[in-house]
Amino acid sequence: MKALLCKALGGPEDLVIEEVPDPVPGPGEALVRVTVAALNFFDTLIIAGRYQVKPELPFSPGAEACGVIEALGPGAEAFRVGERVIVHLGYGACRERVAAPVSGLTRVPGSVGDEQAAGLSVTYGTSLHALQDRAKLQPGETLAVLGATGGVGLAAVELGHAMGARVIACASSAEKLDLARAHGADLTLDYSQEPLRDGLKRLGGDAGIDVVYDPVGGAYSEPALRSLNWKGRFLVVGFAAGEIPKIPLNLALLKGIDIQGVFWGAFLKREPEGHAANQARLLDLVGTGRLSAKVHGVYPLEEAAAALGILARREAMGKVLLRP
């Protein structure tokens, strides 16, 4: 079978496609033929050796996929051959077949397409965990989303809208903000044209901002945190800007602010029942049309370097997928 391989740490251009043996499912595992694999920004970090997870070389990028079960190992009888499933691996999905523990599989209902399902776990799973489990976002509250058209950002816009919040999408161009409005943003802020702090103060009005969703970090975090109202919640999701900010903690003291870390990967391992419930909710939202599971583009495996390059340059709006 074909597999996209990282054989030496580097950039997307250093990846290669090679023939490798088909995997054999072991105890508690299923052999899944991958129909669509999803890429995320952190895949660009993993292949460069700059992510907290450092797989042994060679490995395939890709944390998640949708596929069809072709065989089952001993003890995997809870699933059936022919079932369509979401696979969450952490890495290794960018190949034609994978052997995955059945504990990391989720059945996909007929109302959800392969492309929607493939990119549902990480970005939408992260954003639902952040907004629902961490911030406990309530209907009528005001949510500001930074980097609002990246993978997790656009998911947060959609989920915030579905949860009944007033959503302010923050991004760096009019084109990106048009996309955010199409996916449920009530208000938009172009922080290439107006200082973030000023814009959030203007759009937040007298009520202010209840929740900030920040996957960007860098120079944007502190002004966004300063915009929060009394007992606001600041969600630390990631650092796409490349710099980890140093927040003056007196700001949290003066406004009673909660600074909440969002580590979906740890949530998945530590609270599997909560993850399963969130997956079921996401599939229901997509299946009933309340979430679009936006796709930026679908690329053949042979164009993986170009697809990852889009993510590395932060040009993607929505999810980037590969079709083996």
pLDDT tens-digit map of 144-159: 999 998 889 999 999 9
Assign a CATH topology to domain 2-107+294-322.
Quinone Oxidoreductase; Chain A, domain 1 (3.90.180)
Question: Rounded to an integer, what distance in angstroms lies between the CA atom of residue 186 and that of residue 110?
Answer: 31
Position 41 scores a pLDDT of: 87
The Cα diameter of the chain in Å comes to 62
Q: Are strands 166-171 and 228-236 parallel, antiparallel or unpaired?
A: unpaired
Given this model, what pLDDT does residue 317 score?
Answer: 66
pLDDT at 52: 83
Q: Which residues of the chain fall short of a pLDDT of 50?
A: none
Query: Are the C-beta atoms of residues 155 and 318 closer than 8 Å to each other?
Result: no
**Where do the domains of the chain lie?**
2-107+294-322, 123-264
Options 3.30.1600.10, 3.20.10.10, 3.40.50.720, 1.10.1200.10; which CATH number does 123-264 get? 3.40.50.720
User: What is the model's pLDDT at position 318?
Assistant: 66
For residues 77 and 50, the answer to whether their CB atoms sit within 8 Å is no
For 94-145, give the DSSP string.
Answer: SBSEEEEEGGGEEE--TTS-HHHHHTIIIIIHHHHIIIIIIS---TT-EEEE
Read out DSSP for 67-84?
EEEEEE-TT-TTS-TT-E
